[in-house]
Amino acid sequence: MPMIQTINLTKRYGEFVALNSLNLAINEGDCFGFIGPNGAGKTTTIKILATLLKPSSGQAMIDGLTVGYQNRQIRPLIGYVPDFMGAYDDMTVAEYLEFFAAAYGIHGEARARVVGDVLDLTDLAYKRDAEVNSLSRGMQQRLSVARVLLHDPKVLLLDEPASGLDPRARIEMRELLKELKRMGKTILISSHILHELAELCNTVGVIERGELLFQGSVAEILRRARMGRVVHVAVAQRVAEAAALLRQAPGVTRVALVDADHADNGAPAQEIHLTFDETGAADATDIPNRLVNAGFRIAKFVEEPVNLETAFMRLTKGLVQ
């Protein structure tokens, strides 16, 4: 059985449908990247899994336990990190962690040991006597992770943990998450920083308007996105005529004229971006011959690389609720 599973999970607010029959399956030890535009339903899903929201219908399960019916058994298994944390004024880092350790039922020498361990893991030991509100945004996010590790949960639910972080803090957060992945934690992480998800996650899910568009490995999502491959072509003259010619090429579904980034050095001012369907992708190799035979001189012929960001753009429509 998957460590995290949803079955036809639906959440409504009146007439508004935040989640529509969401079906997820995340195995133990997976690092799952949850991708979608703002308002797609990522936070709603995470809050339901964290037992903070009740679904309107369907099921959500953690380690075989059902959210809404077995919350008391689920909560010791999970650690939830929201995108922003809060703390009482004048509370130090050590006091903050000791407070939550006590809430988890950790007392005496065990509490001091666990607090020290999570401070070391998150590289915050030198800040143990600093006030929480004096910490940088990046340190506060690492402290949030330290807090949810106190009771050694099986599952980590991270909602935009790198949101608002500077580049150095993002790198530090990424390395911390890699270490947690090596420790065997099951991690669900939502993020807009897609290239970092590609480094961290072995599986991803794409959600839009409350519906899951795709779930699978990073390799699979890139392969699916490649079905609509894009080729950038530049010719030395008569760009509009070349574009008209290429509209007739087999497998071409879209032809667009785009201003070139490098037009200031004497290169062509516009490029032709060709989109191919799955069946016509192989015909992209015939494009140079078509142009040369028609008397055009080719200045550029490059296939657009497919990464997680381009895959996301191709698989979604940019819609929000």
Side chain identity at residue 66, one-letter code: T
How far, in Å, CA of 104 to CA of 150, rounded? Answer: 8
For the chain, the domains span 4-223, 230-305
CATH of 230-305, one of 3.40.50, 3.40.1350, 1.10.150, 3.30.70: 3.30.70
C-alpha distances in Å from residue 103, one per residue of 49, 96, 147, 297: 20, 11, 11, 72
User: Do 308 and 222 form a contact (C-beta atoms < 8 A)?
Assistant: yes
Adjacent-strand bridge partners of 208: 211
pLDDT for 253: 84
pLDDT at residue number 116: 95
pLDDT tens over the chain, length 321 residues? 899 999 999 999 999 999 999 999 999 999 999 988 888 899 999 999 999 999 999 999 999 999 999 999 999 999 999 877 777 778 999 999 999 999 999 999 999 999 999 999 999 999 999 999 999 888 998 999 999 999 999 999 999 887 777 888 888 888 888 899 999 999 999 977 677 677 788 898 888 889 998 888 877 776 666 556 788 899 988 899 999 999 888 888 888 888 876 555 555 678 998 887 765 455 677 888 889 999 999 988 887 766 666 666 666 654 433
What local confidence, expressed as pLDDT, does residue 237 receive? 86
| Residue 85 near residue 143 (C-beta atoms within 8 A) | yes
Q: Which CATH number fits domain 4-223: 3.40.50.300, 2.60.40.420, 3.20.20.140, 3.90.1170.20?
A: 3.40.50.300
The distance of Cα 104 from the centroid of its chain, to the nearest Å, equals 29
